[in-house]
Every structure is written in C-alpha cells, then in structure tokens.
C-alpha cells in the first residue's frame, strides 16, 4: 500500500502539470481540442487524487490533513474539484490555466515535502471529523475561486472600459461568463463553508459539551462567514451585479481570509492539529 501511495504521490503533480500545459495551450491558441484534453486529464487527476486520499485514510485510519503537506494536497484536490464543476457547468475552459497553476503548485509542494503516512492525533482518526474539515476547506476554496473570478472580471472590465484590447481581452471569456462562473463558485463557497462551520460546532458540542466556544479562531470564522454570507446575499437581493458585485466578492474574500488565517496565527487557539 505504501508503495502504491508513494507512486500516486509522484503521479499527481505530473497529471496536474500535464493538464496545466494543455490549459495554457488552450488559453494561447483557443483551440477546443486542447481544452478537451486539459479537462479530461484534470478529471483523471481528480479521480486518482480522490482514490489516493480515500485509500490513505482507510488504510491508516485517519483523516489525511495531519501535516502541511497533507493540507496542501487536500486544498489542491478541493480547488481542482470545484474548478472542474464550474468549468463543466459553464462549458468554458479558458480560465483553467489560473486555477490549475494553483492546483499544480499545491500538489507539487505536497508531494515534495511528504513526510510519511499516518498520525498520532486521535481527533483526526475519527471519520466524522472529516466531514467538518472537508466541507470547510471546500467552502474556503470555492470562495477563493470566486475571488479570482471577481478579479478577472475587474481586469477584463477595465480593458474594455479603456478600449485596450490586450491578452486579457482576447483570451478571457465574456464578462457575463466570468461573472456567472464567479457567482456559481460563491454560492458553493457560502453553502459549504456554512455547513462546515456548523458541523464544527456540533463536533465541539460533542467533545467539549457546549455549542459555542470562545476560541478566537472559531469566533472570527463564524463572524467572517456571517458577514460575507449576509453581505453577499443582501447585495444579490438588491439586484447588484457585475462590477460592484465583483468588488464585493473580491474584497469580501480578502477580509474573510485575513480574518481566519492571519488572526488565528497570532491568537491562542485549541484549533491546531499538526
């Protein structure tokens, strides 16, 4: 089993790298065949990755985010899955290059710095805990994807506005498509992160006996998610679209990310597992 996992560990960056090469070719040439190949190889990569993570989890009986390498690998899979869904739903592969670059980089780091398999952390040995982590990571990944689409929207709108027809104008899909892809990812993000956070509270109730904790990381995550979700939904309901909505999505994610990641780095928290 270990040999199989080691082999897949090498194979994954290769698959994502190959897919990235085809996405770059698709972006440069606009030839649909490159897009089809890129997408097909990405799907093979996702399936292989999922088998790798599930296989590893089942064999060693733990949820594989016990160290930085495993967390990077999980993030790579999440972004790959979400991007694949967004791409297939909108039938638009021109933006794959941006997301596969991240996926490839994350998986390369994960594969290079892997340090054995298994964990001594009891919490990670509980499969129920996996749902909380998976959904939370999926939610954050989806919001990151939405933020990147919002950035693309702003850049493309700027080019159109300034009558400058450069590479971005020439290669990116229409403003409407970029907006739709971003909205799709945002919807995913709010729902997944919301469920992930809720499951975390349930878990806390199970092991600590109370639903809400005063742990700063959790409090900040709750507040940040709530502000993001409410702000975004209200803006949507008010009918805001396009430029303003992209600005809200982009800055909303930055605030959320800074709140969750940066604050938790400097504040005392029980919420560390590695």
Residues of this chain that bind other proteins (CB under 8 A): 156-157, 160-161, 163, 165, 169, 173-177, 180, 238-244
Is the CB of 14 or the CB of 240 nearer to other proteins? 240
Closest distance between other proteins and the C-beta of residue 129, in Å? 41
| Residue from 248, 225, 45, 238 nearest 136 by CA | 225
Is the CB of 164 or the CB of 206 nearer to other proteins? 164
Closest distance between other proteins and the C-beta of residue 25, in Å? 16
Is the CB of 127 or the CB of 166 nearer to other proteins? 166
Closest distance between other proteins and the C-beta of residue 171, in Å? 11
Is the CB of 163 or the CB of 272 nearer to other proteins? 163
Closest distance between other proteins and the C-beta of residue 164, in Å? 10
* Tokens matching residue 16: 């994502």
Report yes or no: 260 and 140 within 8 Å, Cβ to Cβ: yes
Question: What is the DSSP code string of the chain?
Answer: -HHHHHHHHHHHHHHHHHHHHHHHHHHHH--HHHHHHHHHHHHHHHHHHHHHHHHHHHHHTS-S-SSHHHHHHHHHHHHHHHHHHHHHHHT--TTHHHHHHHHHHHHHHHHHT---S----TGGG-HHHHHHHHHHHHHHHHHHHHHHHHHHHHHHHHHHHTT---HHHHHS--HHHHHHHHHHHHHHHHHHHHHHHHHHHHHHHHHHS-S----HHHHHHHHHHHHHHHHHHHHHHTT--HHHHHHHHHHHHHHHHIIIIIHHHHS--S----
Is the CB of 209 or the CB of 239 nearer to other proteins? 239
Is the CB of 8 or the CB of 156 nearer to other proteins? 156
Terminal-to-terminal C-alpha distance of the chain: 23
Closest distance between other proteins and the C-beta of residue 170, in Å? 9
Report yes or no: 123 and 273 within 8 Å, Cβ to Cβ: yes
Closest distance between other proteins and the C-beta of residue 92, in Å? 9
Closest distance between other proteins and the C-beta of residue 172, in Å? 9
Is the CB of 1 or the CB of 238 nearer to other proteins? 238
């Amino acid at each position: 089993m270990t040999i199989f996992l080691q082999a897949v560990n090498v194979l994954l960056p290769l698959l994502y790298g190959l897919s990235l090469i085809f996405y770059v070719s698709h972006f440069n040439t606009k030839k649909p065949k490159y897009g089809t190949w890129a997408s097909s190889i990405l799907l093979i990569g996702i399936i292989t990755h999922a088998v790798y993570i599930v296989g590893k989890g089942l064999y060693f009986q733990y949820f594989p985010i016990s160290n930085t390498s495993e967390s990077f690998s999980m993030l790579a899979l999440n972004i790959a899955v979400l991007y694949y869904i967004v791409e297939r739903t909108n039938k638009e592969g021109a933006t794959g290059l941006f997301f596969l670059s991240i996926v490839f980089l994350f998986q390369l780091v994960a594969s290079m710095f892997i340090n054995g398999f298994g964990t001594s952390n009891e919490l990670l040995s509980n499969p129920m805990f996996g749902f909380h982590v998976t959904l939370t990571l999926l939610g954050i990944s989806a919001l990151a994807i939405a933020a990147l689409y919002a950035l693309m929207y702003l850049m493309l709108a700027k080019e159109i506005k300034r009558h400058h027809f450069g590479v971005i104008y020439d290669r990116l899909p229409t403003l409407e498509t970029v907006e739709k892809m971003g909205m799709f990812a945002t919807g995913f993000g709010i729902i997944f992160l919301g469920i992930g956070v809720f499951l975390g509270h349930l878990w806390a109730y199970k092991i600590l006996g109370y639903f809400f904790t005063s742990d700063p990381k959790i409090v900040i995550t709750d507040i940040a998610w709530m502000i993001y979700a409410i702000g975004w939904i209200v803006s949507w309901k008010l009918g805001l679209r396009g430029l303003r909505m992209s600005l809200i999505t982009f800055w909303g994610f930055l605030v959320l990310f800074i709140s969750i990641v940066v604050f938790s780095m400097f504040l005392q928290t029980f919420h560390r597992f590695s």
